[in-house]
Amino acid sequence: MLIRCVQLLAAMVTLTKSICWRTVVKSKDINRIGVVIYQKPTSNSCYTERKNNEPPLCSGSNGHSPWYTPLDSCLLLPALSKSGAGNSWPISWPERLNIRSSTSSENSSTWFSQENFDSDTKNWNGLISEVYSSEFAVNWSSIRNVMDMNAGFGGFAASLIDRPLWVMNVVPFDQPDTLPIIFNRGLIGVYHDWCESFNTYPRTYDLLHMSYLLQSLANRCDIIEIAAEIDRILRPGRWFVLQDNIGMIRKMDRVLRSLHYKTAIMRRQFLVARKSFWRPDSTGS
Ligand SMILES: *[C@@H]1O[C@H](CO)[C@@H](O)[C@H](O)[C@H]1NC(C)=O
Ligand SMILES: *[C@@H]1O[C@H](CO)[C@@H](O)[C@H](O)[C@H]1NC(C)=O
């Protein structure tokens, strides 16, 4: 047993040295159980000065794929800011909510531009105050949590910031990778594929929101499966809001009405649906 521990410790010392971790504390607690605290370096110099490139540094872009990537044994160098230091602390809250941080996306395509971000912010502020809050039969003061199923830059969540609720922002894995921008705004979020079940058990939501995602989902999975997943996550008596083209709205409306939701189509681009307490008859009669 003792020999095994010594071997393990020796292997740990070799490994942590090779990945540039510094030993900060090596001690025993009051039960004489050994404790070691390691610290990862703040600059990249140690990695590049290693005699053996083992484990190797990751090559090229393979560290940046955020979805369904198998575990890799290479080391990813921390991204450094232009000054060469580690990433600086973001602008303080709440200013950062409406600022698109320049370091928050490495993607230089115009889709990610400041102009697009600003017009998205403006668009959601307008929609929330003029349509969602005033025209929909949704009791906002009873809503504690919301999930935006296709969050984009997080503009929907940002427009709800003054309300006493929180929003889970979901970035579908095949949409532009905006999660770094969402986190830099001080919001929370995850990646997901809505053709698979969402890992939320046992949490349920008061409002689910999906904006222009259904078409791309319907190419890969059945709209009934998506509706069943929405129904699973939603509390009874609570709301699902869909923004989409009228064809998609009508398809989803049919499915939700068959589940005894109360639905309304507004402005030919919104479906507001309220889940009832109805459940299918499980006796089979
Ligand atoms: C809206 O929700 C609040 C809080 O749950 C409740 O007190 C109020 O009666 C509700 N309003 C309507 C019109 O249902
Ligand atoms: C940048 O974003 C666009 C739009 O989502 C995408 O098509 C492109 O592949 C991205 N480029 C990189 C380098 O990630």
Q: What are 241-269's pLDDT values in tens digits?
A: 999 999 999 999 999 999 999 999 999 99
137 lines ligand 1 (CB under 6 A): no
Q: How far is the CA of 207 from the centre of ligand 1 (A)?
A: 15
The C-alpha atoms of residue 150 and residue 214 are separated, in whole angstroms, by: 10
In this structure, the number of other CB atoms found within 10 A of the CB of residue 133 comes to 14
Kindly report, residue by residue over 96-151, the tens digit of the pLDDT: 999 887 665 667 888 889 999 999 999 999 999 999 999 999 999 999 999 999 99
pLDDT at 284 over 90: no
Q: Is residue 285 part of a domain?
A: no
- Residue 107: strand, helix, or coil: coil
Q: Is residue 224 part of a domain?
A: yes
For 207, 215, 237, 241, 255, the CA distances from 260, given in Å and listed in that order, are 17, 23, 11, 16, 9
111 lines ligand 2 (CB under 6 A): yes
The C-alpha atoms of residue 278 and residue 275 are separated, in whole angstroms, by: 8
Question: Which single residue is written with the structure tokens 């979901």?
Answer: 170
The C-alpha atoms of residue 271 and residue 240 are separated, in whole angstroms, by: 8
Q: Is residue 238 part of a domain?
A: yes
Number of the ligand 1 atom closest to the C-alpha atom of 139: 1
Give the CATH number, domain containing residue 149.
3.40.50.150
For 49, 141, 243, the CA distances from 129, given in Å and listed in that order, are 56, 14, 16
Q: Is residue 252 part of a domain?
A: yes
Q: Is residue 54 part of a domain?
A: no
Q: Are 34 and 71 in contact (CB under 8 A)?
A: no
Question: What radius of gyration, in Å, describes the C-alpha atoms of the chain?
Answer: 24
Q: Is residue 47 part of a domain?
A: no
Amino acid of residue 148: D
Ligand nearest to the CA of 165: 1
Q: Is residue 10 part of a domain?
A: no
Domain boundaries, position 169: 102-274
In the chain, how many domains are there?
1
Nearest CA to ligand 1 atom 14: 139
Q: Is residue 33 part of a domain?
A: no
141 lines ligand 1 (CB under 6 A): yes
pTM (two decimals) = 0.87
107 lines ligand 2 (CB under 6 A): yes
Number of the ligand 2 atom closest to the C-alpha atom of 176: 5
Kindly report, residue by residue over 38-66, the tens digit of the pLDDT: 999 888 889 989 998 889 988 765 556 77
Q: In this structure, are strands 262-266 and 270-274 parallel, antiparallel, or unpaired?
A: antiparallel
Q: Half-sphere exposure (CA, 13 Å, Cβ side) for 241?
A: 24
Q: Are 206 and 239 in contact (CB under 8 A)?
A: yes
User: 125 — phi, psi (to 5°)?
Assistant: -60, -45
